[in-house]
């Protein structure tokens, strides 16, 4: 339970998503995938996220697809895009990211 000014929030239903989002690079992946509202391939993401290895990126993408944050599109080139939930979480995280970018 989390207490707020308006009452309490049960976080149990959100646990799987919070578990994935708390992992290294997950917020970066979510943020980059939301840029330009276009699908991105693996190499696009690898180039856009400083310091991430291909092994780590592959693992995070798999976890984030499983959590319903990202959709994988198979074709000649595999691409990824945010799901509706992923877009909403990104939208809500952006003010925090902006604050941290200016406060640190």
For residues 48 and 12, give the distance between their C-alpha atoms in angstroms, rounded to a whole number.
Answer: 33
Judge whether 80 and 45 are in contact, CB under 8 Å. Answer: yes
Token readout for 69 is 């944050």
Q: What percent of the chain has pLDDT over 90?
A: 82
Q: What is the structure's pLDDT at 14?
A: 86
**Spatial CA neighbour of 30 closest among 85, 77, 73, 79:** 85
pLDDT, tens only, 28-54: 999 999 999 899 999 999 999 999 999
More confident: 48 or 4: 48
For residues 61 and 39, give the distance between their C-alpha atoms in angstroms, rounded to a whole number.
Answer: 13
Q: Which domains does the chain have, with CATH numbers?
A: 10-103 (1.10.10.10)
**Spatial CA neighbour of 69 closest among 43, 30, 36, 31:** 30
pTM: predicted TM-score of the whole model, two decimal places: 0.87
Mean residue pLDDT of the chain comes to: 94
State the average pLDDT over residues 55-84: 97
């Amino acid at each position: 339970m989390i207490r707020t000014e308006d009452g309490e929030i049960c976080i149990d239903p959100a646990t799987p998503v919070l578990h994935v989002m708390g992992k290294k690079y997950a917020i970066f992946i979510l943020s980059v995938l939301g840029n330009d509202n276009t699908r991105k391939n693996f190499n696009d993401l690898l180039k856009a996220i400083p310091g991430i290895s291909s092994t780590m990126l592959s693992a995070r993408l798999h976890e984030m697809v499983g959590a319903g944050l990202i959709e994988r599109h198979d074709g000649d080139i595999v691409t990824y895009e945010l799901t509706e939930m992923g877009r909403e979480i990104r939208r809500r995280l952006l003010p925090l990211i902006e604050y941290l970018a200016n406060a640190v």
